[in-house]
Structure 1
Amino acid sequence: MNLEQARFNMIEQQIRPWDVLDPSVLELLHVVHREDFVPEAHKIQAFVDVELPLTATRRMLAPKVEARLLQELKLQRHEKVLEIGAATGHLAALLGHKAQRVVALEADAGLAAQATANLKRAGVLNVSVVNADGAAGLAAEEPFDAILLSGSVAAVPQQLLKQLKIGGRLVAIVGGEPVMRAVLVTRTGADDFRTVELFDTVAGRLPGFAEAPAFSF
């Protein structure tokens, strides 16, 4: 396989047509090699427009969904980011190139170890992976400029939203199959949040989040 041609095709045929037009995001997809974060058994599918299985219950987000979520956060270099659902570390690596510091939570110990190893091998030194359930966030490190949920949830717990700075943003995929929607939530005050619906998609569930709504949009 010609990896660079496959990467080019992924970006130009899948990602750019999905309204990912930020030049810094598109360039980053050339820098952070997705295939280095894909399990050996699925490397041939690294650039395919599908979610890849990681464990019996977890999947790696499709390339265009990862890219669009990253774009919608509009990260700045000075910002601190919390990622929930590190999986094998690909999206954490992308976040690390955009932000000052990233803390990535991963509930599965095996995946957390893989993510740590993959990030080290890729030379991404400003991302730390913590083996922990993500639904409660990480109060010890709050407040965060941005929070990204790398998978779907029935609803975003208010406890998590409260870990944003005023002006901070959270991006998540919310809902249940067959109707899920990526949303951007901005904290505008101590108890005030503004929600914008971004796009429709379907993604695998993150573990540890309640299926009953904990925060209503």
Structure 2
Amino acid sequence: MNIEQARFNMIEQQIRPWEVLDQDVLNLLAIVKRENFVPAAYRNIACADLEVPLPGGERMLAPKIEARILQELAVHKGETVLEIGTGSGYMAALLAHRGRSVTTVEISPELADFANRNLSANGVTNVEVVVGDGALGWDQDAPYGVICVSGGLPVMPQKFLEQLKIGGRIAAFVGGAPVAKAQIITRVDEKQFRVSDVFETLVAPLKNAVHPPLFRF
């Protein structure tokens, strides 16, 4: 298989049509080799328009979704980043190339180890992988300039908002079936937040994610 042709097709046929036009983001997708962050059995489909299976029954987000989120977050070089849901470590690697440092929290020790090995093998040194439950964010080192939630949130917990710097952004998939919204939430000041709906999709919720209260009659 010609992986470079597959990568070119991923960028030109999947990602550009999803309104990812930031050339720095497109260049980064060519630099960070997605096939190096998937299980060996799935290297040939690493650049396909699908959610690649990961250890423990988890799945990577599709390439176009990761790229669009990366573009909309517009991470700056001096910013500290929190990611919830490490998965394979690929999104953390992308974020690390744009920000100062990344703390990424993964509830599965097996996946955290997989991600750590991938990041190390690809020379990514400014990412710390932490085993823990990030369903309410991660207080350590808060506030953050950027928070990227790589799993679904049926509702947005207040704790995430409190862990964001003024001017900082959260990317999250908020809502539930049949469809959720990919949102960028910007902290305007101590009390105000601006919410931008970017696209609709459906992403598996984080383990232990907060759910809205059930109605009782």
With normalisation by structure 2, the TM-score equals 0.95
Residue identity opposite 2:199 in structure 1: F
Could you tell which deviates more after superposition, 23-32 or 199-208?
199-208
Preserved contact between residue 105 and residue 130 of structure 1 (Cα < 8 Å): yes
1:204 aligns with 2:201: no
Partner of 2:200, secondary structure, is: strand
Residues 50 and 63 in structure 1, CA contact (< 8 A), matched pair in contact too: yes
Asked if 1:27 is matched to 2:24, the reply is no
Check whether the contact 1:152–1:206 (CA below 8 A) recurs between aligned residues: yes
> What displacement does 1:191 show?
2.1
- Give unpaired runs (5+ residues) of structure 1: none
Q: 1:208: how far off?
A: 2.0
Query: What root-mean-square deviation, in Å, do the aligned CA atoms of Structure 1 and Structure 2 show?
Result: 1.1
Deviation at 1:57, TM superposition (A): 4.3
Are 2:76 and 1:40 equivalent residues in the alignment? Answer: no
Give aligned-pair identity as a percent: 50
Where does residue 117 of structure 2 map in the other structure? 117
Letter in 1 for 2:149: L
Output the CA distance in 1 between the equivalents of 2:120 and 2:212. 37
Residue 55 of structure 1: how far off its partner (Å): 3.9
Q: Distance in 2 between matches of 1:95 and 1:181?
A: 21
Tell me by how many angstroms 1:65 deviates. Answer: 0.3
| Aligned match of 1:158 | 158
Cα pair 1:58 1:205 within 8 Å, conserved: no
Q: CA deviation at 1:41?
A: 2.2
The two structures have a TM-score, normalised by structure 1, of 0.95
Measure, in 2, the Cα distance between the counterparts of 1:151 and 1:15. Answer: 20
- Equivalent residue number for residue 133 of structure 2: 133
SS in 2 for 1:87: coil
Q: For residues 69-106 of structure 1, give each alpha carbon's deviation from its aligned partner in whole angstroms, at most 9, with x where no partner exists.
A: 11110110000000000101000000000000100000
Separation (CA, whole Å) in 2 of partners of 1:140 and 1:151: 20
Moved more, 82-91 or 195-204: 195-204
- Report the Cα offset of residue 206 of structure 1: 1.7
Alignment of 1:1-217 (within 5 A): 1-212=1-212
Structure 2, unaligned runs of 5 or more: none
The DSSP-based 3-state class of the residue aligned with 1:88 is coil
1:56 Cα deviation (Å)?
Answer: 4.8
One-letter amino acid of the structure 2 residue matched with residue 61 of structure 1? L
